[in-house]
Amino acid sequence: MPRRLAATLAAATATATLAAAPAAHADSLDYVALGDSYSAASGVPPSDPDASPLCLRSSGNYPHVLADEIGASLTDVTCGAAETRHLTTAQYPGVPPQLDAVEAGTDLITMTIGGNDSGVFIGALLACGSTGILAGGKGSPCKDTFGSSFEDTVRNKTYPALVDALRAVRDKAPDAEVAILGYPWILPATGGCFDRMPVAEGDVAYLRSLQATLNDAVGRAAEETGVTYVDFSVASEGHDACQPAGVRWIEPFLQGSNPVVVHPNALGEAEMAGETLEALGLD
């Protein structure tokens, strides 16, 4: 399965070192998981007993799955609703900056981050959902109302914030292998499923384009900073929120099983872990 991976020579060397490590020594790998609700697996049982209740972190998230697979020592500071700024500033009382968990000797760092910045993606989902309901699922009321504003925000604000965030990670742990994950597809390319995802038919492609723009920003920021980008544009195709249970990686807004809607389910988190292991050469 093709992967778009970007890494500096140093990062590539780190990957090779991790991949070549004997299984008997895998538990010596110091792994820190950063990121937002897609990293935290918000809504997926069971809850992580070590997490602040505000973070809605699951012990079934992809960092736990990945760490179990390679026997790494995991420090998980993922937190629902995290933005790139919460890598360096406290998100909630008692929830310190996520980069506080990273040390110079950290071996491996993963994250999913950027989707909450400027409220753009959740704002678009809510806006398109409400306009879609009012329009009875017809036309493209969200696109007609908001035009390019969401994608403009991603390009002009989210992208530079991602670059700054990844540079901060690199500065904190210059020898670590760092991977940032894209966001798996939420909607199919066309059609949609208005009974489960109340987005007007003409706005399905509009939201899909916004997600592609967000993932492009993540990938370009990774390339600019020498970080591995885990691209889900191919792997998650056909596993969007409109698919049946057992196939979908993302739970829908209605008729789903996750109380935190439009987020990965346990299958999605497991698949995200597997794709990340493959991208890092650790599978």
What residues are annotated to the active site? 37, 263
- Round to whole Å and give the CA distance between 113 and 53: 20
User: What's the number of CA atoms in the CB half-sphere (13 Å) around residue 139?
Assistant: 11
CA distance 171 to 18: 20
Look at residues 181, 197, 201, 210 and name the one whose alpha carbon lies nearest to residue 261: 197
Please measure the distance between the N-terminal and C-terminal CA atoms of the chain and give it in whole angstroms: 13
DSSP 6-68: ---HHHHHHHHHHHHS-GGGGGG-EEEE--SHHHHTTTPSSBPTTS-GGG--BTTSHHHHHHH
